[in-house]
Structure 1
């Protein structure tokens, strides 16, 4: 299945509120603003949905944001085209910033509880990204001999860790979390390098010994963005190597068991393994809805996992996914078509309905559409084809005209109740609804798969039902 184009919407599939949570506070003032809103994305963990907020400036060009968090989290902040990505925050932080959009990085001032950590990021960026572009150096070094490249990465890791540890007034948990991020990010360069065919014969243990890791607390491993990414990519490499040895793709259960077997007392904790297992299961639900196979795997995880947040999230997601599974009633909606006329799903009771959530900026969406034209023609007398765009109104109308999209064309905002009700976290997303108004299949075939033949079979099967 081809990857979907993702966008972020705020979906509360689970509640993370606990008595242990503390209010994180973030406010600021923008000098000579060019826009009237700031964008903030909050990442509580790496399994549940990220939370995206648009916050309007007040008459004094100020904004304010707060949220309850119970351990370290990460934040993105953007104003126009300026900002920062994946900065660590703590539950007790009370941060205030002030900047000018014309020269964001040279004008930014930060103060308040936790500001030392943020000022570290500002100085770290200047040292390792502006004065000396580490990523560009790493790209050049990757073309050299393997040992030379790995020595370069290890030296860089040491340099960045020394800079972190010499920075005064940083909190202890920030130092440990940032240390995990540095190690994870730099060692991930090695994993990406070793994913090439040249090193496909290396045993897993040899791959592990090339990684320069350090002992980290369980919670630090699991909460770190980069350390988790590094471990996840390492597991994907091991899964690929195991598949090559067996000359077949591993089953989902075999993949999960391989991840479970990678526990290491110091370097890969159970908590980190639970995070990656939960992430994999989350992706399986997105890809396959809640098939019996996926449900069994999720139930096994729920029965043995310790992390309450992961368990709650997956449990709620399974329950939500069941509302989109075969036989469940399709979610009602009412939207205006391209001519401004109201169109409601209930208008088509007794008919087969094909829904396509798409956008003009989504490459796979546009690619699939050319395969849909003959399918629409084949079933035009029996099936209602509805395209629901997530574009702005202008972009939507231009795209419908440009791509000659036939059928009923509707538009909806990305964060509307309709996208939430249909669980749209990525596009393209397809649904097939039977004459009784129920979802006809749990997973609709992509129109481009087998040049539309699988989708045609699905539609024909639904048409044959009473």
Structure 2
């Protein structure tokens, strides 16, 4: 009986003791969906600031994804950057660059609950805090590769050297990074499109894109590196749009298929009404909401007969010029930047077009520069290497490629031209450039059809 009493007493005491303990604090939803990054420099750079850029819906920073809207968070040195994630967002790709131009990281993964500190002393970068391993991994590859490159006299082993460095870093950091995130990072490096594009035979490049290298579909669906790799492989084939859509539908599924179809059209640009009809058909098959929204927005802004963007930009005298000022006129917009060789070439090839229509009051040629330096822009148009004497020369008000007109028309490369009719509607968001007599005649016919 005594023994039974002692056991009951002991159980009671244990329960009482446990009850009296404070319950562990659960993380709030806000805490689990927020990340912080803080940057500190040595005294010489303490007045600098940083810009963190990223895209929603796990769009990366790869070349194929440049058309997706970019978010920017700015902070002074020493102040934490707070990143708020969407409900279902497990991570995002981000760039972090100082206003003075120092790159701290590019296309790196940031997760909810990361709390990373970046310290730079005498040009040495030190990462600490929760989530630091992802940045340490990329930094190690860059440092080791740079050290290796300096010791090489024969760069014929360039690819092999980089591959060995990546493999070594993957092995070292595998135990330090969450399994799924590690697999995504691994996929990003295995499918380094820009790297392979320089050294691999086209057919090998395409075969590799289809093999998946043993990676799971879930990982590949989320890897920006794989997405860019696949899209570049498809673009290299120079397929007709209908054939490209069939190829994507046959070889890829679910979210990856939707993302590929979306980026394929956005990177290709709308050439004609057949492209518009094909996009309409594709929109019926896509299931991912943010892909549907992106493709609908692109179609609305770039399709023939869509209203032209009513910009408000300054000319060389500082006067505001608007698209609506040209109502009743045909307008050919030409976007360029100083130092762009292809932009100079297009201007040369456009000479015949300029001469043919220079006395026609119903046609206006407008050049729009994305230069960030106004003096550079004004100097570049004086010698008419980028524009011709009869054009109206405009400037994107120091906003460069972040100008609203650039974002509206989804312009990713230069030169870029857009033809607008007398009613202020798009005739073509990507008219032919007159590099050959055939293309020149086609552009002339297109302009004449608007008169």
Is the shorter-chain TM-score for this pair beyond 0.5, marking a shared fold?
Answer: yes
Aligned length: 401
Shift of 1:119: 2.7
- Using the alignment, how far apart are the partners of 2:209 and 2:277 within structure 1? 35
- Which residue in 2 is equivalent to 1:163? 172
In structure 2, the gaps of 5 or more residues are 1-28
* Structure of higher RCO (CA pairs closer than 8 Å, 6+ residues apart): 1
Among 185, 189, 195, which residue is 2:192 paired with?
Answer: 185
For residues 32 and 347 of structure 1, the distance between their equivalents in structure 2, rounded to whole angstroms, comes to 51
CA drift at 1:233? 4.6
What's the CA shift string for 1:250-290, capped at 9, x where partnerless? Answer: 43222222233335xxxxx6443443233213223x242xx
Distance 1:178 1:135 in 2: 27
Look up the SS of the partner of 1:53 in the other structure: strand
User: Offset of 1:396 from its aligned partner?
Assistant: 0.9
Give matches, 1:24-423, under 5 Å. 24-34=35-45, 36-43=48-55, 44-46=58-60, 47=65, 49=68, 51=70, 53=72, 55-57=74-76, 62=79, 64-69=81-86, 70-79=89-98, 80-100=101-121, 102-103=122-123, 106=124, 108-126=125-143, 128-133=144-149, 140-141=156-157, 158-165=167-174, 167-168=175-176, 170-185=177-192, 189=196, 192-195=199-202, 207=207, 213-216=213-216, 218-235=217-234, 240=237, 250-263=239-252, 270-284=254-268, 286-288=269-271, 291-322=272-303, 325-326=304-305, 328-382=306-360, 383-391=363-371, 392-403=373-384, 405-406=388-389, 407-412=391-396, 413-414=399-400, 415-423=402-410
Normalising by structure 2, report the TM-score: 0.75
303 and 33 in structure 1: CA distance in 2 versus 1, 3 angstrom threshold: farther
**Match of 1:394, SS?**
helix
Q: How many angstroms apart in 2 are the aligned matches of 1:135 and 1:287?
A: 48
Q: 1:429 to 1:343 in 2, by over 3 A?
A: same
How far residue 162 of structure 1 moved from its aligned partner, in angstroms, is 2.1
Change (3 A) 1:187 1:135: farther
- TM superposition shift of 1:449: 4.6
- Shift of the 54–224 alpha-carbon distance from structure 1 to 2, 3 Å rule, reads same
List per-residue Cα deviations over 1:144-182 (Å, max 9, x = no partner): xxxxx7xx89866654432232x43x2223222222223
C-alpha distance in 2 between matches for 1:331 and 1:187: 33
| Separation in structure 1 between the aligned mates of residue 244 and residue 39 of structure 2, nearest angstrom | 46
Query: Computing the radius of gyration over CA atoms, which structure comes out larger, 1 or 2?
Result: 2
CA contact (8 A) 2:32 2:113 kept: no
Structure 1: stretches of 5+ with no match in the other structure: 1-17, 144-148, 241-248, 264-268
The CA distance in 2 between the partners of 1:372 and 1:439, in whole Å, is 20
User: 1:89/1:195 Cα in 2 relative to 1: closer, same or farther (>3 Å)?
Assistant: same
8 Å contact from structure 2 (residues 329, 364) kept in 1: yes
- Counterpart of 2:6 in structure 1 is none
Where 2:379 maps in the other structure, the secondary structure is: helix
Assess if the C-alpha contact under 8 Å between 1:188 and 1:230 holds in 2: no
What is the alpha-carbon distance in structure 2 between the residues aligned to residue 303 and residue 309 of structure 1? 14
CA distance in 2, matches of 1:138, 1:92: 44
Q: Distance in 1 between matches of 2:230 and 2:410?
A: 28
> How many Å separate the matches in 2 of 1:311 and 1:445?
28
